[in-house]
Chains A and B, each alone.
Chain A
Amino acid sequence: MNVVNKDVKYLNKDFGQFRQNLITFAKQYFPCTYNDFNESSPGMMFIEMASYVGDVLSFYTDQTFRESMLTQAVEDANVLSLSQMFGYKPKLSSPSIVDLDVYQLVPAIGTGINARPDMRYALVIDEGMIVETDTTSGGPAEPVKFRTLSKVDFTFSSSLDLMDVSVYEIDNTGDVQFYLLKKSVQAVSGQVITKTFPFTTPKPYDKIALPETNVLDIISITDDDGYIWYQVDYLAQDTIFEDIINIPYNDQELAAYRSTTPYILKLKTVPRRFVTRLRQDNRTEIQFGSGISAYSDMEIIPNPKNVGLGLDYLKRTTLDNLDPTNFLYTSTYGLAPSNVTLTVQYSIGGGIKDNVGLNTITKITDITYNTSAEIYGLDLTSTKASVAITNPAPATGGKSKESVDNIRQNALAAFAAQNRAITREDYIARTYAMPNRYGSIAKAYIIGDSQVDTSDVTYPRDTISNPLALNLYVLAYDGNKNLTVANPATKENLRTYLSNYRMLTDAINIKDAYIVNIGIEFEVIPVPNANSNEVILTCINRLKELFEPDRMQINAGISISNIISELDVLYNVQSVPRLEIVNLFDMNKGYSGNVYDIQGATKNNIVYPSLDPCIFEVKYPNVDIKGRVVKP
Chain B
Amino acid sequence: MARQVYRYAPFVATNECACGIKLPFNKGGTAVTETNINSGFSSGDSTYGADSKIDGPGVFEQTYTTREQSISNFKNLLLTQRGERFMQPEFGTNLQAFIFEQDVNALYDRITDEINSSAEYWTPYIRIISIDVTRSTTREYGINIRIVFTTQEGGGNLTINVLANENDIILSNVEGGDNARYQLAAINNRGRF
Contact = CB atoms under 8 A, between A and B. Distances in A.
A522 interface: no
A38 B22 CA distance: 13
B20 to A, nearest CB: 3
Contacts of A45: 76, 85
A36 B87 contact: no
B21 interface: yes
Contact of B21 (A15, A42, A48, A49): A42
B96 interface: no
A40 B74 contact: yes
A39 B16 contact: no
Contacts of B73: 36, 38, 40-42
A59 interface: no
A52 B19 contact: no
B129 interface: no
B149 interface: no
B1 to A, nearest CB: 12
Interface in B49-105: 60, 62-63, 66, 69, 72-74, 76-77, 85-88, 91
Contacts of B23: 42
Contacts of A37: 6
Contacts of B8: 35-36, 38
A35 B19 CA distance: 5
Contacts of A35: 8-9, 17-20
A12 to B, nearest CB: 14
Given A40-B77, A40-B123, A45-B76, A34 B87 contact: no
A52 B76 contact: no
A36 B86 contact: no
A35 B63 CA distance: 10
B20 A39 contact: no
B59 to A, nearest CB: 10
A31 B122 contact: no
A40 B66 CA distance: 13
Interface string B5-45: 11011000000111111110100000000000000000000
Given A36-B73, A39-B122, A40-B123, A48 B85 contact: yes
A34 B21 contact: yes
Interface in A2-43: 15, 19, 31-43
Contacts of B72: 41-42
A49 B122 CA distance: 18
A33 B21 CA distance: 9
Interface residues of B, number: 31
Summarize B's interface: helix, strand, loop or mixed. loop
Contacts of B20: 34-36, 41-43
A42 B123 CA distance: 13
Interface residues on A, range: 20 to 34
B5 A38 contact: yes
Contact of A52 (B18, B86, B91): B86
A40 B76 CA distance: 6
A200 to B, nearest CB: 56
A48 B88 contact: yes
Interface in B130-150: none
Nearest to B63: A36
A38 B20 CA distance: 10
B69 A39 contact: no
B17 A41 contact: no
B14 to A, nearest CB: 11
Given A39-B122, A42-B72, A48 B19 contact: no
B76 A34 contact: no
B87 A48 contact: yes
A628 B21 CA distance: 104
Interface of B: 3, 5-6, 8-9, 16-23, 25, 60, 62-63, 66, 69, 72-74, 76-77, 85-88, 91, 122-123
Given A39-B91, A42-B21, 7 more contacts: A33-B17, A34-B21, A40-B76, A41-B20, A41-B69, A41-B72, A41-B73
27 contacts: A15-B86, A33-B17, A33-B18, A33-B62, A34-B18, A34-B19, A34-B21, A35-B17, A36-B6, A36-B73, A37-B6, A38-B6, A38-B123, A39-B3, A39-B88, A39-B91, A40-B122, A42-B21, A42-B22, A42-B23, A42-B73, A43-B60, A45-B76, A45-B85, A49-B86, A51-B87, A52-B86
